[in-house]
Structure 1
């Protein structure tokens, strides 16, 4: 036969006959299993053109009388029914079907299958892509080498997804690689007639009852130059073998496998290697996230400036924590996708109940100046929205990205929510602090008030009316949003003062908060915990311990949180530590999250105690077998002073300068504690006998720290109008009295119940010292304040979830009907990078080159060409490979 490409018909032809007109005999061998048969035949009628193809139904002497009656009722044009007088076995039945024509291709189809839309057309197209292709096998839930999503397993249909939706998904997202397989699978096996003419039919004499006959046929075909391929854009349901008992099946497999290995030792070894290595892993890996999405769950995209995932850059902050909480609470009902910058990449994570799927898109370094539009970022978000059928976009921050995601969603008719976590959409100074760290209210926001800030902090030329341009663009983006969410009424007031026309879009939903209190009931003592206490230094009136600890395990784990267990004659406690990076320990043990520093609470210093390290990991909680003996410290001042704490990350915006002035010059007889990282140099360098800087901590450890260090009072002294303040929620949940600066959400939340605890910003350090002295002079006042503040309730995460769930349900979630389609190969390649698999793209250089190509006009043209037809696909891949100069 000659293979001719037709520019007019845009399809392959065989001797001038279009592929779709190539006659194919669909052969279904039947032995009982009546219900399966009916479903199979009905699906063939529904999805197959029987004017250009024939259906051959061969009843192999079924014992169920319904079979003959049903088959006789099916006789019509191009439907051939054959009844065997005796049971001939699978191979003879197939040969009978093959013998009905000398020219027709054949397709073997099990009676326990259900075919899907356009199945035969796609399989034919696949078969005639190349002359050397001899057989084609589609994807299925149960087809060994062609099983998806789990290779060589008997899968079920994806949860919450119909067969029709599964097949549609496979066709839509397929990489269309049509990869080679070592052997075809007889459940649905397309065979070109020329192969039968070349090597003959099945070896029915040897493989009478089935199991191995298609392997034998395929091996013979390989030996004369044919290839077997997977049709990776077609999905057929295969419910499993119903004809033989499992014991009988095992016997046939064992005997026939022996025969095959004697006949084809090299090819059977190649098949073993194929099963071992799964060289077509990309097919199933590509499908897994789409299968997990189901059919009836809504797809929501959260967008923020930095990822909250462990190991990501800048993963700690209020916005990140809020999105993490939302994700945790929403992922059981919705398909939650989270997109966030991580250095030069856009991380995308799909959270589905207890599963996670990751993608990593190269978007380049964050520019020195804010880029309102960026081609790479736009390309990534357009593919994300289209590829995952995103039905709602919920923006949380865009300061490291661009405005493209809102514009794309607006163009595609996807509703957009925007939670305003700070004032970035009013001013590049997201906390509304000028170059002197002075708050600029709307009343003081005059024409040139931001000029010096923009010049000093953002390098904006002072002759550009930048703030005007900024607000015009931000107003345009906010106006395109369907809803603007604000965490507190004070935030709504500020935004309304700038964008009064958007007030009807604004809705206040306060954040929820909860501690995930760690329990240490099941600490397993293990000699795999290696630890060292390197230093025990005097720190004020206590000790600071410095050291490292690691749990050695062959099983990989993500987190390594270190605690110290302190045991004395009178007490036992587990103390959180502050993490310290240790490159030296990493060199030996492969982890850098092994270092720690910790202050010893006063109460344990009056007697000797034992200390051991505990490592809390993803795979368990493990304590060191060995302990260290610590001798008691001289008599200390425990409980003779008021213990005052500052909590959370502290920089100048969070009151670092004010706190420094309070501690340095107070003269108050109190113990000052600071729990959190410090970004204000004077404060981090401060050394004072009654000042104890603990360092960073895990949020969930705060109640334990408050208890162990016996904190009496918390001060939260931000100098900008906070939009919510998680630290206030934490202090309230710890049941500690709080003094706050009277600004933004701090003042609004606290002022409802205890106005005297809200102190004006002017001379704040002096006011705080006076308030603390007043509390020391009137000890009962602290209890009264605590009682008043107990009225300030912190919403639970479920309270917050219910509000957002109701809001999401009110939104007219989009059903994308865009003529645009996603580049699924682009998505897959970035999923390989996101999951640490670099076989497709060997280096970051490859990814950057790929990113450049996918943003080019040439590439977009090639993509349109590839979607037009199979010839277009071949041409497109050649062009892309030349552009990339790598094989992928």
Structure 2
């Protein structure tokens, strides 16, 4: 597919357009076709982007005009479908995919256009005029929101619109070029081409799911009005029916529905949480794969909407995941169950494709493709243009044996060993495979290679697993990325022997596993025989009864029960005796967490991790005698009172946060092509402080990837992310980890920024001041900075103004008018504190206070230290007005007025920031009359709220400026104390 952006001057406007196209147009050829621009800055910018390989740049030798330039675009696009995009537009996620999906949703489609804030008849909500959409919301979020929420897929239109047109090649072949003689400068040329398409039997479509920002007329400047008038006259002459068709179309019910819905969506997006959507493909079996995937989805809940495709050979089920719970959406049962030999299944492809399109999925993460046709989902993703990430939790994509064990149970590495034979296949779904060894394995690898080819990235969890895939598929080695699993630990995972001595008895080895030959049943049997009863072995896990004749059998267990079972055994070692190279081992992680050293075979992930961190001993996979010899030596030492002296690593298992942030960053870079700088943030507790949330989610900083830092992972060197800086709030000063984080950050040359805001109380602590002096400190005002200066801390002052998104979602008028009769009118007191004098004064004001119609007026208190607006929203329907204490902040004022509540200020302080609220008289009778007047006079309340909201808009610019200043600091911080 080729995207051509005709350019004539435009400077920054053109650059914004091109960067948005590059960022949101996977695998497309992107051409800037410069029509001999005369502006040196525009030409230099185009040269720079082309030199960076971001775009392809072609220049007309002389100015040809828009229509002739478009015709050149048709020629240079070859046999591709072509998208023509004005250079004064900004596009969003999935824009190009949705245009293509729409173009191929019907036979005979000639062209598809999106809608816009300003694109003639395709303007929303009001047609034929520029429309204001929330300025404080990034266009990426607006476009994403419209794509996710618009309930019309497409509708037929008389013609496409030239600001954004997808042109199918078959229509271009049939209709030819645009009419450059009748429309040499642009305007009207697309209407003429679209009408010719309809006359030739084609269909033009528009889709509200593609929403494009357009600075209409910037491409043509002052000539726009004249060009429109000339084009309209020519068009009427060529196609007399066009105006009537266009008028009838804009009056249609379907078009009017789109307009009506866009009014609602415009209001909703102002305060909505807009995040991309990901689909996880998981098989229906139990084990570490689905558990790890659940951990990941829960950790990423704030930055994506997660969906799950759960696959069994007889049923496919789709779920939405909300707060860790699966909500069933739909299921589908194939007429013919899935088989291992299936590759492409058109029935399955149709179901998956429909779901991806309907739910606006931006990325598919395949955790496993077992139990389904191997190539179907990867091919659907490729055809739809949706990026796919493929995880490799085993070696299924090398051989269906999964474990790479040949017919003798010997590890083969994916290369068939000499001789004939039938290799063991570990699950029922795989049993129907043709003979693999030296035969069908080649077809399997050919199919698997296409799967890897379809993936944007292939994930391995350890270096050894990645190396095995690279050896089998060297052509795809550059797609391989290592992302290690993460685990979090609660109180139930304390060290086994932290508080007590070892129980008497022989050396004990506990062996947890889902037991089968690959997990080492025969290897363990040999060790048991060679140790001759001098070592006590315990087996637990699924199918542990296989070894009941050789060891003490404890049966299966749940993950949460493992510590209790092992505490009962009190093992000296955990035995992990797999005879295949496992791609990870949660059991190894659990052993280390419980403080138990490991004895294991010397291959795969277990060997990788023990080699790197210690915590165990490795023995040849073909020599169980070496393991038996070691255990006997340990048994002798134990009897002589020497004990086991293998140190178990404390922080070798990284957190779920670190794993999730790796994936979040990977998803980000996969969805968008322009790399983002990374800034870390370390917080002491959940939820994030409201001020830091505003910083991290500022619309001015959408070009930065903010990554949560797991303190111990960073301090222990497990987190190797290339951070520009790391931000911490004041609460982090009291954590034991911050000093270690500062040490590691200094070693790596990463600045740490203490975003203190208005807080200065921490500066009373010598320990906190000592840590703060190692940071770049940011305060929100000069008064706070002066206070910190007395403690020897030089602070950077960056204002902390009002974020308009916090209030945009709430009603513009008081709820009181709609509330009906209640038991008393209620007023809420907001503020971080109320002094005793104010408290007594308010008690007297509200004692027995009643409205004009005799309704009692009650004072509620909403006093808290951080983000008082948060609690307000959950109860905002109850109140008719708000009172602010003398210690209230602008946040309190706007929180109240944005919820439709008029405000009364104690003492008349300038909380409203140049929009003073009504002052509360010190005279009790005057105060009562004032409050009663607010309860009784709805127009007065409405006027107050309207005035306050105007002030909120004024502060939006200040918030944006503060956000940009903060962003510049965290991306290029100065040295601490400079």
TM over 0.5: no
In the superposition, the TM-score normalised over structure 2's length comes to 0.40
Higher relative contact order (CA 8 A, sep 6+): 1
Higher helix share: 2
In the superposition, the TM-score normalised over structure 1's length comes to 0.43
Higher strand share: 1
